[in-house]
Amino acid sequence: MLKIGIIGIPGKWSTETLADAIESRTGYRRIIDMAEVELDLAGKRLLHGDTDLCSLDGLIIKKISASYSPNTLDRLELLRVAEHAGVRIFSRPLNILRLVDRLSCTVTLRNADIPMPETRVTENAAAAMSTVRKFGSAVFKPLYSTKARGMCVIDAALSDSDMQTQIQAFQAENPMMYIQKKVALPGRDLGMVFLAGKYLGTYARVSQSDTWNTTIHSGGRYENHLPPDDIIELARRAQAPFEMDFTTVDVAETDAGPIVFEVSAFGGFRGAKEGIGIDAAGLYSEHVIREISAK
């Protein structure tokens, strides 16, 4: 019997769905909350309760923490101990590390010549104000966040004093400011799903209000979408440098052509299921089992 643990959040739908899929195929079930894991460096053990994760056949990282933060990077470093001990981890911690930090993801995408919204990154408040004036309207994004949490839009129509107040409020929580030009979207953006680099399908997140983003967290809904081949190829190129076992690429169609917002560190099971009708947890589980069994 293969022993494959799920790194995730107990009780959350995507974590439990993946654990169900693994259990139905192996008979083994273990959900691991990284907040409960202890590293014993001298003993070279990574303990979750009475189980040494270094003794498992594999680990699947579905969710490393409820929200992204530098602490997320520390949790990924702990998992490198299990990987060094020979445990197969999906996706590899080093690959996920490059995606959890929005700046690291952006630099990799731009180095690969992937089209993205015009972006400035700075710790200088005066430079941030100048950027807002240049962009007309700018989205300020934390370097560690999911589902648009912590993001805000600052508009060039504000007075200097009001703009300065909003920028200072953002920078109080985010010393390094990541600023993107707000682009006009057609009321939707796309989640393009990949398993081990193979394209599975696309769901659209469709806005149900006049909010500036389309996330489900902000009231959007999922729909099936059939993008043209050139957008599929763009998404394929975007995810390729990260070598993820499972991921989604966030793409938007604009008047100037398609752009990529980001590549996901963990991928969206619910969007794949509700938008496309794909059992991503089942397909992912079968991929993991094949890879472990083949070694």
* Domain 119-181 = CATH 3.30.720: no
Q: In this predicted structure, what is the pLDDT of residue 97?
A: 92
Architecture of domain 4-90 in CATH?
Answer: 3-Layer(aba) Sandwich (3.40)
The answer to whether 186 touches 166, Cβ cutoff 8 Å, is no
In CATH, what class is 184-283?
alpha beta
Q: Are 132 and 154 in contact (CB under 8 A)?
A: yes
Q: Answer for the pair 76, 100: CB distance below 8 angstroms, yes or no.
A: yes
What is the model's pLDDT at position 267? 87
DSSP 10: T
Tens-place pLDDT, residues 217-266: 555 789 999 999 999 999 999 999 999 999 999 999 998 899 999 999 98
**Considering just the CA atoms, what is the radius of gyration of the chain in Å?**
20
CATH 3.30.470.20 boundaries in the chain: 184-283
Phi and psi at 101, nearest 5°, equal -85, 115
pLDDT at 211: 55
- Quote the longest CA-to-CA distance of the chain: 65
Element (H, E) at 97: helix 93-100
Direct distance between the N- and C-terminal alpha carbons of the chain, in angstroms, rounded to an integer: 15
Supply the pLDDT for residue 219.
54
**Euclidean distance between CA atoms 289 and 74, whole angstroms:** 27
Q: What's the gap between Cα 284 and its chain centre?
A: 16
268 with 193: CB under 8 angstroms? yes
pLDDT at 217: 52
Residue type (1 letter), 157: A
For 60, the enclosing helix (H) or strand (E) is strand 58-61
b/e 73-92 (16+ beta carbons within 10 angstroms → b): bebbebbebbbeeebbbbbb
Buried b (16+ CB within 10 A) or exposed e, 173-205: ebeebbbbbbbeeeebbbbbbbbbeebebbbbb
Which residues of the chain, if any, have pLDDT below 70? 208-219
